[in-house]
Amino acid sequence: MKPRTLLLAACIALPLHAPAAQLMSAPISVATPQESASLVAKLTALDARPGLSADYSFRISSQHPGVVGQKITRAQHTYKGLRVFGSESVVVTNARGDIVSVAASDRRPGLQPQATTPGGVAPPPSPAAPLPTPAELTPVLSADDAIRAAVQAIAPAGTHRWPPSAELLIYPLMKNVRSSAASNKPDDQLNALDLQEVVERYELAYLVQLRMAQDGKLVYYDVVVSARNGAIIAKWPALQTVTGIGHSQYNGQVPISTSATAGGFQMLDSARGSGGKFGAMAITNANHSSPNNPDPGSVYSNATNTWGDGLQYNGGSTTNANGQTAAVNALWGLMNTYDTNKNVLGWQSLDGNNTATYIAAHVGTAYDNAFYDDRCKCMYIGDGNSFTSLGAIDVIGHEMSHGVTAATADLIYAGESGGLNESNSDIGGEVVEAYARNGGTGNSVPAAGNDWMMGKEISKSGQPLRWMYKPSKDGRSPDAWSSALKNLDVHYSSGPNNRMFYFLAQGSSADPASDYHSPFLVRAPAAMSGIGSDKAYRIWFKALTTKFTSSTNYADARNKVLLAAQELYGTTSKEAIAVQRAYAAINVGADIDEADGGGEAVERIVNGGFENGATGWSGSTGVIGANPAQPPYEGARYAWLGGNGRRATETLRQQVAIPAAATSAQLSFALHIDTAETSNTVYDTLTVTVRNAGGGTVLATLATYTNLTPAGGYQIRSFDLLPFKGQNVTLSFAMREDRSKQTSFVLDKVSLLTK
């Protein structure tokens, strides 16, 4: 229960600045069982709702570095000891083990998630899917039965390249619920934020992972098999591919990092990565090993340290100068992929923990493919037939980025999340290409050097596999989100997010005839401004590693990328505005205005960080102050509404004027919520409203937060108040607590910027 002596004398206001981009920390040590148990206990306490006892818990699945001084942990949600598929929390902790932030996708039985769209209109209440009964959680089939059913459905004549696995879990079957505002919209007019995914029902199932080969092709599938009757509930491909002084084929003479041996040199780069199959980053000679079951072979060796002839492989020896060229392509690409992420972000190798990977060249004969295999955390490259050798720089950056995804968000390779998985790899490929083409040095992503076309160099026709700036040029990828996106192959559902990233980095065109134009950009200026590849990549990577979960879809991605931009550069920064516009350009969220003619933003809130005590605020100003029991978001002070553990009402208000000539009016604030409530019932609330100048009439309710929505650390909330331009209005934060068990709503950094 909080003390009631928070209001202190006014002090000198501290200058508040958006935090600068930080490097990721060095590789981390794996948490001890005691540390993992402590984090699980903290998460359980943070999310104390009914049933979160022995029935509900968390299972630590992976850990990787955060920014310096922080660690990122992924915790799967469990119910009665079984993992709930696609339900998890991404937890950022500091050096003391304190929780800094939590991003989650909560699909646990009985805990229907709330709408998460910042400033959006919540969908109508939807009852939680029924809890599975004990009988429904008792499998009828064994794991072996499930594997047999999956094999029969996918590749009955295939052979296993890797041993199959079957995990018993709870599988949520999802449906879309429309927001109230979109209840009568035609399907072809829906925006991604008009829909929210909710659980329709649960199935006890096995997740069967098949890594097979059949008829000369790799058949990698994840299959969800009913544990009750063996029915196939869902399936999706799991092979992540780009279908469709060394002398490099695509890059001229390039420096490559090799190691000396007793007999000469080998393609083993001990300066990048450690451990793994070969002890360091390596290029091996698969020597036409069958794609059915490719053998990486041994590390490339040579009597001298000059490699390759720079020409397309002619089908002869894989070890002479011509055969070495594919290996040169691979090593140069792998070196630049490693260096891009390490030098720009501080991220080491694929997993952030500097675990070495390798690439096997010359897979198959005239094999038109390159693929990443997460079982070996490695890449295989074919020599091409319809294509030339598939070791171009953007292709390698693409495939290695699948390894980063697998180590972090592990986006499910189906539906919208699968499209985002592929898009992350296309983004990685273009960023690595830009970095490599500009010398492969420096701590930022160059503004130019890549072509924004995936796989153009390997194409014999000159037509790329994908166009980032205009995905529909391939005849199959859409330029914008639609409700049908989840039904496409992931190589095509990636298209809209690829376009979003291009617009975020490079901006758009106002010319409707241009390939760089979006009809969804309807605010000013018609041509949105880009923020450059460096900032765009930092924002995207932060969202991927600290906020995305395996089931993140386009709407969730937009919200989390926006939050990453706000955390890196400021709530109403040009970078945050660009994120909103870039997603609006692909029909995900509404468009907003940029700075009016380049004019500066004007802050309309007085003392939004509460550093000057009650100045500017009216109502329950005794909640303003500082106390070690609650940390501030910035500075030294905040407003602690609630936390009483008894019946209480507390309100903070401030009257503001929004100019009639305003072209933008963005309200934002940082909010932290913690609670001692243990019921799945709303008892304590914080309601944010816009009222008339006198404060009596409610003009709009922006949001209501409750004891059911606690969060580790502060969350940035933002709203568009442009509809109130030309008015004097009152912003109101009103808290109500019931008779017992506290809920704290800690408010900081309130801002209303107009342009």
431 in helix, strand or coil? helix
Distant-in-sequence contacts of 638-641, Cβ < 8 A, 24+ apart: 638/610, 638/746, 638/747, 638/748, 639/610, 639/733, 639/746, 639/747, 639/748, 640/2, 640/6, 640/744, 640/745, 640/746, 640/747, 641/686, 641/733, 641/735, 641/744, 641/745, 641/746, 641/747
Task: Decide the pairing of beta strands 56-65 and 70-79.
Answer: antiparallel
Catalytic residue among 491, 517, 594, 737: 491
| Alpha carbon 372 to chain centroid, angstroms | 19
Which class for 705: exposed (0-12), middle (13-18), buried (19 or more C-beta within 10 A)? Answer: buried
491 included as an active-site residue: yes
Q: In angstroms, what CA-CA distances link 500 with 27, 136, 521, 705, 717?
A: 31, 42, 12, 30, 22
| Alpha carbon 345 to chain centroid, angstroms | 16
Q: Dump strand ranges (E) for 408-497.
A: 453-454, 466-467
Contact 713, 678 (CB under 8 A): no
Here the tokens at position 618 are: 């009216």
Contact 415, 492 (CB under 8 A): no
Here the tokens at position 429 are: 């490929």
360 in helix, strand or coil? strand
Here the tokens at position 635 are: 């500075």
- Dihedral angle at the C-alpha atoms of 418, 423, 429, 433, nearest 10 degrees? 180
Distance CA 405, CA 399 (A): 10
Distance CA 627, CA 208 (A): 51
Catalytic residue among 203, 399, 430, 650: 399
- Whose structure tokens read 């409203």? 689
Q: How far apart are the first and last CA of the chain?
A: 41
- Whose structure tokens read 């500082």? 626
Look at the chain and count its residues: 755
Distant-in-sequence contacts of 629-634, Cβ < 8 A, 24+ apart: 629/2, 629/3, 630/2, 630/672, 630/744, 630/746, 632/748, 633/670, 633/672, 633/714, 633/748, 633/749, 634/14, 634/16, 634/609, 634/670, 634/748, 634/749
CA-angle at 230, arms to 227 and 235, nearest 5°? 95
Distance CA 747, CA 547 (A): 22
| Alpha carbon 532 to chain centroid, angstroms | 19
Distance CA 65, CA 561 (A): 19
Distance CA 327, CA 179 (A): 53
Distance CA 314, CA 303 (A): 22
Distance CA 451, CA 242 (A): 17
* 525 prior amide bond cis, ω within 30: yes
Distance CA 66, CA 61 (A): 16
What amino acid positions are annotated as catalytic residues?
Answer: 399, 491
